[in-house]
């Protein structure tokens, strides 16, 4: 409470709508009850709809009859009226007179930008200029410009600032720093031949969706009236300049005043304003600009008349009707009126003050965080002005997190741990490659080498060659609270400021040690007091396995283990992460009968597949998975239909008959934490075997029990070893002793340890009354003490070691009860 009192002492005049119809606490209690256990911090990606807003929409749609507006009926007239009202609300929100502007509804801001790019009057003398901080949807316009022979280049905005760091808004204060010019058809025009007759286009965002930096709207008038001056005499400054404002981010709390800053085009998406509807945006277009767009296609609703068998069409004169192809999304358009009602009650200015008070608080706290050695924890990107009244910052805080030694925590590690703590945020480059490269200091060679290393958007490669490839972004909406920011700060402090655990220090020491020799392995083995407690085989990837007393070994691990998998009709591999119900499919293999049996609660009969019969097969195919080429056998429709019923979607069953690596990933022989590339595998994710210790599970359960009683006082959570889908469970010895094992012998079979198994959300799935449910545990507790370099480790990965062992033959079996002899030197 003292922290909040301190916050209100500084920001109380701005926070929580003190003069509004409802306080922020009332808004959250009555309109966002679903956020009770969730901290939602991705409002820049998609803000949240109010529950009262949706009730109003539902009441409207269930008590009104809205017909297709391309008609003259009463229901169609009602729709036309509501659409006309919605257009006016959009124009009113940015102070645009209908005499000067029109509102064209699109499927989103991206579609609005595409419409401009497709229809703009490009020529070989045109120029497309854009700020480095722009969304990919804006950069895509460059393709239209370059294909028509126009020039394109990026710019940085340089504005003079006063002593307090605020921008000085005047024509002379703005300079554009130009990047190299791009052209595809250079022969058509030389720089010296550029004239003033061409139409040029300049695009900038009202707010950068990477950093939250707000651009001065004076850019509109500066570019339209003084391009030669701000481009310092560049030959590309000639011609008539038109301006796009990408207001998808920033329109809610700082809509552009188009009576003062008469941009030619403004694009928005409504789900970023008030959460619903999705799939609806708008292009606010100046009437003069609309006349210049050269639209080719026509459709229903856009023509006054057309004749089918001759080249004749007369288009409608209305700007909106000319550009809105087909029937507009009129029910979604009717919904935005209820969103604007909320905004008009709260007012954009009050929403801006409210969100900025939270942003300033969060920035101050993150900048103040220090490790024990005094090193900064967070590196923030963008404007660091810490004033609520500042017009240079929006509702975004973008940053990365550093370790005490200056190395980076990966942003995906932050995102995964945040999710376990009930915090939803965004990481990556946010479809803004220019801002990402600029703020992270990534050169062209960095970006290309990252791509060659396999990094693409939305993957897990968050640090390459010691540099982050993206950032962590938190963003706030009108319903965000102090408590949201406070929980996030507490999460960063508890997860990233504390020093490494003894487990992490020891694990990294072993992982970075000198590669171990294989000679003399037998002499270094010692009795551990451990024995093999259980053996489990999982014939079909991600389906349930079965336990046995003994089982034969093969060159791929336990015989038949993960030899089959299910694929969707689009080729996607099905796993429990996306289809949790796969865990309800039970499997069993009878070695004597050479039969695979499969059962599912969704299927009446048991499916039986003979292991050595070709009668079920219908050909072979190849595909790649985990950098490995697989040759697989496909099954007939009857079997595929059974599995489709079992998982609730069309799929096919395939069986591995050959696998081969085409890319080597881990040449270092030291203890690693990545996929085994030196041994044959079926469809296992990382290694031939996964070993779990009963003592380690018992220690985890003690921690789970303690955490549950501390947090809720409820019944303690208990997990069994099989929750982790191990092949081998051992009993005896000390908890986590397996972490230090380099190699081991079980019975007469030798294994090499590949290091810890990186755990994911799959271990949080559990069964209850025949249903698959999910919690945050045990992964959240494991993350608190088993985290190493972004990985949460539990259990060890093994591969069969043919160097020290006698080699596989018909008598190579593992048996429950066999003693375990490890080597930890």
- Residue of 560, 540, 546 lying closest to 652 (CA atoms): 540
Handedness of CA 682, 683, 687, 690 (dihedral sign): negative
CB atoms within 10 A of CB 631: 14
Run of H or E residues at 322: helix 319-323
- CA distances 359 to 15, 209, 395, Å, are 11, 14, 6
The pair of three-digit structure tokens given for residue 357, joined into one six-digit string = 């008070």
Paired with 672 in beta bridges are: none
Catalytic residue among 208, 429, 431, 543: 431
- Given a contact cutoff of 8 angstroms between Cβ atoms, the answer to whether 263 and 245 are in contact is yes
Paired with 396 in beta bridges are: 475
Radius of gyration from C-alpha coordinates of the chain: 31
- Residue of 552, 553, 566, 559 lying closest to 538 (CA atoms): 559
Cα 731 to Cα 816: distance, rounded to the nearest angstrom: 11
Cα 257 to Cα 252: distance, rounded to the nearest angstrom: 12
**DSSP string covering 373-420:** TS-BSEEEES-----TT-SSB-SEEEEEEB-TTSPBPPHHHHHHHHHH
DSSP 8-state secondary structure symbol assigned to residue 711: H
* Omega cis (within 30) before 490: no
Cα 464 to Cα 443: distance, rounded to the nearest angstrom: 13
- What SS3 state is found at 775? coil
Residue 211, class by beta-carbon neighbours within 10 Å (0-12 exposed, 13-18 middle, 19+ buried)? buried
Handedness of CA 569, 574, 578, 584 (dihedral sign): positive
Q: Map tokens 């608080």 to a residue.
A: 361
Sequence-separated contacts (24+) of 636-645 with Cβ below 8 Å: 639/607, 639/609, 642/598, 642/603, 642/607, 643/566, 643/598, 645/600, 645/602, 645/603
Cα 432 to Cα 209: distance, rounded to the nearest angstrom: 7
Cα 481 to Cα 478: distance, rounded to the nearest angstrom: 9
The pair of three-digit structure tokens given for residue 194, joined into one six-digit string = 């550029």
Edge-to-edge strand list for the sheet holding 617-625: 564-568, 651-661, 628-635, 617-625
Run of H or E residues at 531: strand 530-537
- What SS3 state is found at 565? strand
- Residue of 23, 737, 722, 697 lying closest to 346 (CA atoms): 23
Run of H or E residues at 339: helix 330-346
Handedness of CA 557, 560, 566, 567 (dihedral sign): positive
Cα 799 to Cα 630: distance, rounded to the nearest angstrom: 19
Catalytic residue check, 674: no
- Given a contact cutoff of 8 angstroms between Cβ atoms, the answer to whether 626 and 685 are in contact is yes
Run of H or E residues at 158: strand 151-159
Q: Map tokens 């998406």 to a residue.
A: 269
Question: Kind of pairing, strands 651-661 and 564-568?
Answer: antiparallel
Cα 104 to Cα 322: distance, rounded to the nearest angstrom: 9
- Given a contact cutoff of 8 angstroms between Cβ atoms, the answer to whether 705 and 694 are in contact is no
Question: Kind of pairing, strands 127-131 and 550-554?
Answer: unpaired
Catalytic site positions: 431
């Amino acid at each position: 409470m003292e922290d909040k009192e301190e916050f209100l002492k500084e920001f109380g005049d701005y926070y929580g709508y003190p003069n509004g119809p409802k306080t922020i606490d009332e808004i959250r209690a009555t309109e966002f009850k679903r956020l009770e256990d969730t901290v939602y911090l991705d409002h820049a990606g998609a803000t949240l709809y109010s529950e009262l807003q949706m009730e109003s929409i539902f009441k409207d749609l269930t008590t009104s009859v809205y017909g297709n507006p391309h008609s003259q009926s009463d229901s169609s007239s009602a729709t036309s009226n509501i659409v006309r009202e919605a257009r006016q609300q959009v124009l009113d929100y940015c102070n645009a007179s209908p005499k000067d502007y029109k509102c064209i509804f699109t499927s989103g801001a991206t579609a609005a930008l595409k419409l401009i790019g497709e229809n703009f009057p490009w020529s070989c003398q045109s120029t497309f200029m854009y700020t480095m901080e722009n969304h990919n949807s804006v950069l895509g316009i460059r393709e239209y410009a370059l294909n028509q022979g126009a020039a394109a280049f990026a710019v940085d905005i340089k504005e003079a600032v006063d002593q307090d760091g605020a921008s000085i808004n005047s024509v002379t204060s703005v300079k554009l720093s130009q990047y190299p010019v791009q052209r595809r058809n250079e022969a058509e025009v030389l720089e010296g031949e550029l004239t003033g007759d061409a139409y040029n286009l300049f695009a900038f965002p009202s707010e950068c969706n990477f950093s939250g930096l707000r651009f001065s709207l004076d850019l509109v008038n500066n570019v339209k009236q003084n391009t030669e001056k701000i481009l310092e005499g560049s030959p590309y400054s000639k011609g008539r300049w038109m301006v796009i404002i990408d207001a998808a981010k920033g329109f809610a709390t700082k809509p552009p005043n188009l009576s003062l800053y008469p941009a030619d085009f403004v694009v928005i998406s409504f789900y970023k304003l008030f959460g619903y509807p999705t799939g609806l945006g708008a292009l606010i277009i100046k009437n003069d600009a609309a006349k210049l767009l050269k639209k080719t296609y026509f459709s229903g609703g856009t023509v006054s008349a057309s004749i089918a068998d001759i080249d004749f069409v007369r288009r409608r004169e209305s700007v909106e009707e000319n550009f809105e192809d087909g029937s507009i999304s009129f029910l979604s358009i009717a919904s935005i009126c209820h969103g604007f009602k909320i905004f008009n009650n709260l007012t954009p200015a009050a929403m801006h003050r409210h969100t900025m008070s939270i942003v300033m608080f969060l920035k101050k706290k993150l900048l103040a965080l220090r490790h024990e050695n005094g090193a900064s924890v967070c590196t923030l990107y963008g404007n660091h002005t810490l004033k609520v009244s500042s017009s240079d910052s929006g509702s975004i805080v973008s940053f990365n997190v550093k370790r005490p030694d200056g190395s980076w925590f990966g942003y995906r590690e932050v995102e995964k741990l945040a999710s376990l703590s009930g915090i939803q945020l965004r990481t990556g480059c946010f479809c803004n490659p220019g801002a990402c490269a600029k703020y992270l200091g990534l050169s062209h060679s960095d970006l290309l080498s990252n791509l060659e290393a396999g990094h693409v958007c939305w993957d897990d490669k968050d640090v390459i060659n010691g540099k982050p490839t993206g950032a962590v972004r938190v963003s706030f909406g009108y319903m965000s609270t102090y408590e949201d920011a406070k929980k996030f700060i507490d999460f960063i402090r508890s997860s990233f400021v504390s020093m490494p655990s003894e487990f992490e220090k020891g694990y990294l020491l072993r992982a970075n040690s000198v590669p171990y020799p294989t000679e003399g392995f037998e002499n270094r083995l010692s009795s551990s007091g451990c024995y093999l407690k259980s053996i489990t085989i999982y014939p079909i990837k991600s389906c349930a396995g079965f336990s046995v007393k003994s089982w034969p070994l093969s060159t791929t691990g336990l015989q038949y283990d993960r030899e089959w998998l299910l694929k969707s009709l689009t080729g996607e591999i099905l796993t429990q992460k996306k289809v949790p119900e796969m865990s309800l499919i039970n499997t069993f293999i009878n070695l004597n009968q050479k039969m695979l049996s499969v059962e599912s609660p969704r299927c009446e009969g048991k499916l039986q597949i003979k292991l050595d019969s070709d009668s079920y097969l219908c050909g072979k195919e190849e595909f790649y998975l985990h950098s490995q080429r697989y040759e697989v056998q496909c099954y007939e429709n009857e079997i595929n239909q059974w599995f489709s019923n079992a998982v609730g979607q069309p799929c096919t069953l395939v069986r591995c008959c050959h696998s081969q690596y085409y890319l080597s990933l881990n040449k270092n022989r030291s203890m690693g934490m990545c996929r085994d590339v030196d041994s044959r595998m079926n469809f296992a994710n990382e290694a031939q075997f996964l070993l779990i210790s009963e003592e380690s599970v018992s220690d985890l359960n003690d921690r789970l029990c303690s955490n549950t009683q501390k947090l809720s006082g409820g019944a303690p959570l208990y997990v069994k070893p099989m929750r982790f889908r191990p092949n081998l469970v051992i009993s005896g010895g000390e908890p986590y002793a397996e972490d230090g094992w380099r190699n081991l012998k079980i019975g007469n079979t030798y294994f090499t340890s590949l290091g810890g198994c990186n755990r994911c959300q799959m271990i949080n799935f559990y069964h209850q009354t025949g249903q698959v449910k999910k919690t945050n545990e045990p992964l959240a507790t494991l993350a608190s003490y088993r985290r190493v370099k972004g990985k949460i480790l539990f259990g060890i990965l093994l591969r069969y070691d043919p160097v020290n062992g006698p080699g596989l033959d018909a008598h190579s079996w593992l048996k429950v009860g066999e003693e375990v002899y490890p080597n930890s030197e």
